[in-house]
Amino acid sequence: VQLVQSGSEVKKPGASVRVSCMASGYNFADWTVNWVRQAPGQGLEWMGWSSPYNDNTKYSQKFQGRVTMTTDTSTNTAHMEVRSLTADDTAIYYCARGDYRDYTGYPMDVWGQGTTVAVSS
């Protein structure tokens, strides 16, 4: 069971970034994919999740309107796009497996290796 993320990105302020997360070793369609980030010197911050089971998404209020999370069951891949980047979005972005189907409260038990996104002019 593993999640493999796309490579590091360097973006200018105002740009968008798309991070991918490919799952293997389990039935991707049954489990939500969470996105969590860690800015330099800061703690873990939950951004939201997307569910390939029912196509639902839930975003943290902080990122609502600026982030889009999707899943593609044909490639077992989750994607997250963050728009209107600022220097404050410089962080390591992780995907993590979450809830099973319609159930809630599950732990994030499998994590991707992280994708570094640097935002700089």
Partner 1 sequence: QSVLTQPPSVSGAPGQRVTISCTGSSSNIGAGNEVHWYRHLPGTVPTLLIYGNTNRPSGVPERFSASKSGTSASLVITGPLAEDEADYYCQSYDSSLSGSAVFGGGTKLTVL
- Listed in order, strand segments (DSSP E) in 25-106 are 31-38, 44-50, 57-59, 67-72, 77-82, 91-100
Pick from 67, 77, 112, 117 the residue near partner 1 by CB under 8 A.
112
Residues within window 20-39 making contact with partner 1, judged by CB under 8 A:
34, 36, 38
CB of 88 to partner 1, least distance (A): 16
Q: Minimum Å distance from CB 65 to partner 1?
A: 15
| C-alpha span between 102 and 3 (Å, rounded) | 21
d(CA 3, CA 24): 7
- Which residue, 26 or 46, has its beta carbon nearer to partner 1? 46
Contact residues for 27 (Cβ-Cβ < 8 A; gap 6+): none
CB 74 to partner 1: min, Å = 26
Which of 29, 57, 66, 114 is the binder for partner 1 (CB under 8 A)? 114
**Binding residue for partner 1, selected from 82, 96, 117, 119, defined by CB under 8 A:** 96
Pair 118, 11: CB distance under 8 Å: yes
Q: Pairing state of beta strands 57-59 and 44-50?
A: antiparallel
Residues that bind partner 1 (CB under 8 A): 34, 36, 38, 43-46, 49, 58, 60-61, 94, 96, 98, 104-105, 107-109, 111-114
